Amino acid sequence: MFANALKSIGASSNINTNYSISSTLTATAGPWKIYSAKRKATGKEYSVFVFDKKTLDAGNNGLGGRQSASSQKRVVEEVVERLKKEASSLARLRHPGVLELVEPVEETRGGGLQFVAEPVTASLSGLLQEKDDQERGGGFGGRSSRYVTEDANGTRRRRELEIDELEIQKGLLQVSKALEFLHDNAGLVHGNLTPDAILVNAKSDWKLSGLAFCSPPEPSTIPTTIQPIILGEVLNPDPRIPRTVQLNLDYASPDFVLDNNLTTFADMFSLGLLCIALYNSPHRSPIECNTSISAYKRVFQSSQSVPTATNNYLSSRPLPKELGQHVLPRLLTRRPAQRMTAKEFQESEYFNNVLISTIRFLEGFPAKTPNEKQQFLRGLIKVLPNFPKSVMEKKLLPALLEELKDKELISLILHNAFKIIGLLPAGRRAFNEKVRPKLKEIFVTNAKQPQEKDANRDAGLMIVIEQLSVIASNCNGKEFKDGKYLLFYHFKALFGTPNASSLSLCALPLSVKAFQHG
């Protein structure tokens, strides 16, 4: 089925000409099917978002029913225009928390749409559905991930599923930063903040998307080229159009539905509902109205059906204390002016813990002073065991390795990198994909160029020699030989400082053994 969706794309497509697109589905986000792809010229990985117009005719989930050809054509055009707006809005909104558009939206031969974005591994809605399946199946021993990821070398494996407390906090922090940009800089309301509007990239960062209903608020003082929505039109469910391309009332604010008020604070109410859905079981909004405006209005006619502190915000599971006591009361209040702004949400007690503080420091690492960086790296190694494995592999390790360009930090960064490798169940993969190329670059490729003695690099070399047992356990003899870097380390170290020479002599038998068994 997924291959057929790709076959319907025209051969003259710029995207199809320049990208090799996998036939394996990576994820879905609303009406979009997401496939991994590589740019043919560079081999760099991206994601292609595909909307197949045939889904509009797919029985009960599509247009279906009896309607004239002209009526059906109008509905199709409306859906396509709405999705074009969603994709084109990404081109106007450049921010680290917003999904990065790489190639603009283009029409396909079959009348569908496609565009290229940064590589993503899942939608939040997909992760929550998998989490529900997993919990129904009896926890982590239950059903495994339904989706398969493909490595750069073509190796396919099931996507690792991990969405714990830190992942949730980190993700909500990133989404709120994107909302702050949307509200304060771009002058826009997102309008449909749901799990389908949040995508997770290869670094496990949460990216805001789903901008089909974004609009300037009323009144608006910030100029924008994005056309405003008309609440009276988008709020009325159209049975001819799939739910995935309509505004989701389960996450809508009463500002929209009851007051006809287009305000940025509506997004903050939706953010509150999203917070509850992340902890609820099943992972759904506490407001469920089945696309019915009358059902939505009935929810707000009774205090028992409105999520409040007295009913645990209608969550079937306990909520974090800081979230329930300090944050949700200021997100789900009926009066928009009493709600938190996106900036205030980021500064709330909910994010006051050492792991989130660590991630925040790392995200602002380039702007820190040399002394601050060194103190941070010395303390980081003590808290690493408290981080989820996925955050260490996808977020912390790449960020640390990126800073190896600062020679004064080489030894401290490598100390933390090897600690992470030792903590990861998939340490071999992380070492060979991320760490080993950096070691070769620093100690082999760069070392071939004539240069003066480098004390910082020699200090890094000491860490490498100390960690030879970790290296040997995470790559086979062939990989030793292919890199040729371990032998190089020893020869260099034997002519270096007395400490390095001593360490190198002690570790030499380990390297020889690895060569012999390669």
Would you list the domain boundaries of the chain?
A: 367-516
Q: Quote the tokens at residue 294.
A: 């009358």
Strand partners, 48: 35, 116
Contacts of 166 by beta carbon, 8 Å cutoff, 6+ apart = 355, 356, 387, 388, 391
Q: CB–CB of 480/459 below 8 Å?
A: no
Strand partners, 35: 25, 48
pLDDT at 152: 43
Cα separation, 49 vs 81, whole angstroms:
16
Cis peptide before 282 (omega within 30 of 0): yes
CA neighbor of 190 nearest in space, from 104, 293, 85: 85
Cα separation, 438 vs 192, whole angstroms:
42
**Per-residue confidence in pLDDT tens, the chain, 518 aa:** 334 444 444 446 799 999 999 999 999 999 999 999 999 999 999 999 999 988 776 544 455 555 567 777 787 888 889 899 999 999 999 999 999 999 999 998 888 999 999 999 999 999 999 999 888 876 544 444 454 555 444 555 555 556 788 999 999 999 999 999 999 999 999 999 999 999 999 888 999 999 999 999 998 889 988 989 999 889 988 887 888 889 999 999 999 999 999 999 999 999 999 999 999 999 999 999 989 999 999 999 998 999 999 999 999 999 999 999 999 999 999 999 999 999 999 999 999 999 999 999 998 999 999 999 999 999 999 999 999 888 999 899 999 999 999 999 999 999 999 999 999 998 889 998 999 888 888 877 665 555 567 788 778 878 887 887 787 788 766 665 554 445 455 445 444 555 555 545 455 554 545 445 44
Cα separation, 334 vs 331, whole angstroms:
9
**For helices 370-383 and 354-363, what crossing angle results, to 10°?**
140
* CA 360 from centre of chain: 16
CA neighbor of 192 nearest in space, from 140, 244, 242: 244
Cα separation, 448 vs 293, whole angstroms:
70
Secondary structure letter of residue 175 according to DSSP: H
